[in-house]
Copies of this chain bind each other. A is one copy, B any other.
Amino acid sequence: MGAAEIRRCGAVTQPDGSVTWRVWAPKVKRVELVLIDGDRRRNVPMRAEGDGYFTHSDGSVREGQRYVYRLDGAERPDPCSRWQPDGVHRPSSVVFHAKFAWTDRGWRGVPREDLVFYELHVGTFTTEGTFDAIIPRLPELRDLGVTAIEIMPVAQFPGDRNWGYDGVHLFAPQDTYGGPEGLRRLVNACHAHGLAAVLDVVYNHLGPEGNYAGEFGPYYSDRYRTAWGAALNYDGPGSDGVRDFILDNVRHWAEEYHLDGLRLDATQSIFDISPVHITSEIKGVADRAAGPLGWPFHVIAESLLNDVRIVLPPEQGGYGLDAEWNEDFHHALVAFLTGERHGKYVDYGSAADLPRVLEKTFILDGRYSRHRGRRWGASARDVSGDRFVVGIQNHDHVGNRARGERLAALVGPPVQRLAASLMLLSPHLPFLFMGEEYGETNPFLFFCSFGDRGLVEAVRRGRKNDYALQGEVPDPQATLSFTASRLNWSWPDGSPRAGLRRLYRDLLAARRRW
């Protein structure tokens, strides 16, 4: 499918300065657009286009115009909202994307084999917790040898503290991070500093609060279930609209935010028995959308399946993505270096795993996994190392512990240096979690700021059930869980932290010379 065939929804600004709203609402007989200006409200009937789409155009709309859709009665924000200036539950807002003055015309991107990822969480990377606050740190990341920042999900989520995987407005950069303009300034600055910007996007589920999509259309499958609730409907009745929703989102991030790539969250939970899997279509749409920009666009799967079909070309039955995660690398190293054997680490820990994961990529290549309770994975065959992303820390492995300990809180500087060396000298694409390069010891805890009391209690119970054996579990809803997770961003001269950071820089420099 070509990007041009995707039905674009949301409040889309046109070349003539007008705004066209389009909403996919096949569950609804009648949709009105409600334009909100302070206390003034205008209800405008939308024209049915067929196939459940409704549209309306207006030539005299200004930036920031608030609006909602009225669906057979209830008023709801736009599932394709570009901006939620007042949070997930409140009205959507019009954004004039073309207004932004991009200065990255000369940017040529980063080839896949040169990717070195630096994962950061906007809310805790700086004290300010905004897109703009990241910009002053970009030169230090570039100096370190990082070539791409990977931004944890920014789709509008409930409240102002969240890892990002509870996002509900997939087109709207989080208001408390700085919204659309903030993200654009960050990406533009990345390019100015010679860094690529990759965004983590969640296409396997939608968040549990402020999620009204199900009132508009058949967004959810009645056939599949994910660990986070209902799976998105990629192959059942009405799935054309859901697929277009996601593919338009991909196009949106490429065209309108100039991103260099997307990291697809938990692709093993993107269930799709269609002849062409949605992740494969995502890659096609991304390439076509990014083509005119003049740099390569990387689509990377967080797949936990140890299955190279993710990166094999379609003619070999693959999805054709650029790279996939290889969690075996993390587990093998961390189990060996820390001695931990709980949970996912039960399948790892032998010294023999270290050369194996460097040479063969997968440890679980069809062998029995006690953690999975079955044989897991398949051989990585002769797929080259630069199709796999490896790390020794990330938000999940740090944050999904009772106390959110980073590696530097578990092992001393010599072991940190060993772990870093193995990663940085591996044939795979290195992936750093913010702060690991200087041995940050602040935790990275699980945090949220839901408004729904029942949901808050459910999350608290869930975290306790999962991690109580490891010790007391901090309250995920507490502000302190968030503020305690901020980086110190400090590596005093002569300290082990400065030494570790120097090691990262030197080895990344060495990598570039091979």
Contacts and interface: CB of A to CB of B under 8 A. Distances in A.
A222 B227 CA distance: 10
Contacts of A285: none
Contact of A374 (B224, B239, B314, B373): B239
Interface stretch (A150-158, A304-312, A386-394): A304-312
Q: Among the interface residues A366, A372, A374, which one has the most CB atoms of the partner chain B within 10 A?
A: A374
Contact of A378 (B275, B305, B317): B275
Nearest to A241: B374
23 contacts: A223-B225, A225-B225, A235-B374, A236-B373, A237-B372, A237-B374, A238-B373, A238-B374, A240-B368, A240-B374, A240-B375, A268-B273, A271-B271, A275-B306, A275-B307, A275-B309, A276-B378, A309-B317, A312-B317, A315-B316, A315-B317, A317-B317, A317-B318
A305 B275 contact: yes
Contacts of A274: 305
A223 B230 CA distance: 10
Counted per complex, copies of this chain come to 2
A377 interface: yes
The 8 closest A-B pairs by CB, nearest first: A317-B317, A237-B373, A275-B378, A275-B307, A240-B374, A239-B374, A238-B373, A223-B225
Interface in A373-418: 373-375, 377-378
Interface of A: 222-225, 235-240, 268, 271, 273-276, 305-307, 309, 312, 314-318, 366, 368, 372-375, 377-378
Contacts of A305: 273-275
A312 B275 CA distance: 12
A39 to B, nearest CB: 42
A369 to B, nearest CB: 9
Contacts of A312: 317
Contacts of A273: 268, 271, 305
A303 to B, nearest CB: 10
A478 to B, nearest CB: 32
A291 B222 CA distance: 41
A333 to B, nearest CB: 23
A451 to B, nearest CB: 30
Nearest to A303: B273
A429 to B, nearest CB: 21
Contacts of A240: 368, 374-375
Contacts of A317: 309, 312, 314-318
Contacts of A309: 275, 317
A373 B240 CA distance: 8
A371 to B, nearest CB: 9
